[in-house]
Amino acid sequence: MLKGKVAVVTGSTSGIGLGIARALGRAGADLVLNGFGDAATIEALRSSLESECGVRVAYHGADLATAGGVESLIRHAEATLGGVDVLVNNAGIQYVAPIEEFPVERWDAVLAINLSAVFHGTRCALPGMKARGWGRIVNIASAHGLVASAQKSAYVAAKHGVVGLTKVTALETAGTGVTCNAICPGWVLTPLVQKQVDALAAAKGLDDAAARAELLGAKQPSGQFVTPEQLGALAVFLCSDAAAQMTGAALPMDGAWTAQ
């Protein structure tokens, strides 16, 4: 379905981003991976995706905390694979503290990665998409782009901003062949979330299963984690012809978290 298209997925060396990149690759898209990690491990991942999916896979370790870093990622995709047809803005970081105790530098870092990088990626990729008359921008927001939680002021502000930016992008690209949508996941069992499970288990003397159940029970009525594979399948759908008139949407995949 996406053969001949090039997809850039930020934060794609693990977790949600990797699940989405793999799904897009299986749908035929050439890939540009981005993220941090051991160089040998990333190269093994790049090579395995290339073999598994039968597509070209490149990697660029841009630091998305700066406008220049994001620009370099998009330019690298254009130079090595010929353009950016699909942009998945997935990279994100988290910090938790009450507002009055929230370190200013942490606020700036969360907003830079979770919101400003989405803007910079979008502004850099849009000219090429518009020129080709086709493009798909998929922003990975969060259930926290729709509702709030205490002690997550920067993350919630950034993810609400991503949902708003998604809507503006959709309005500005309507009729051009470019769409922009946001996916709003609830709890996804990524390595980062597993660390939260481990911390909860240690703090309360719980085993892994009980800690997972407690974490889910506080927010996610389904009692089940969303999977990277499910998010990848939704991203592929948003890139399909069936979704050509779906733009500006914020789509929850959260086990009824935001239905409450």
- Per the CB < 8 A criterion, the answer to whether 174 and 217 are in contact is no
The helix, strand and coil proportions of the chain, stated in percent and rounded to the nearest 5, come to 55, 15, 30
**How long a stretch of residues is the chain?**
260
Residue 188: strand pairing partners: 226
Q: Of 20, 12, 218, 58, which is closest to residue 136 (Cα–Cα)?
A: 20
Is 155 labeled as catalytic in the residue annotation?
A: yes
Q: Of 65, 7, 69, which is closest to residue 32 (Cα–Cα)?
A: 7
- Rounded (10°) CA dihedral 22, 29, 167, 154: 40
The structure tokens listed for 37 are 């990690």
Q: Of 146, 36, 143, 17, which is closest to residue 86 (Cα–Cα)?
A: 17
Other CB atoms within 10 A of residue 190 CB: 20
Q: Which of 59, 107, 155, 225 is catalytic?
A: 155
Radius of gyration of the chain (CA): 18
Q: What is the 3-state secondary structure (H, E, C) of 160-171?
A: HHHHHHHHHHHH
Characterize the bridge pairing of strands 178-185 and 250-253.
parallel
Q: What is the widest separation between alpha-carbon atoms in the chain?
A: 57
Catalytic positions are 155
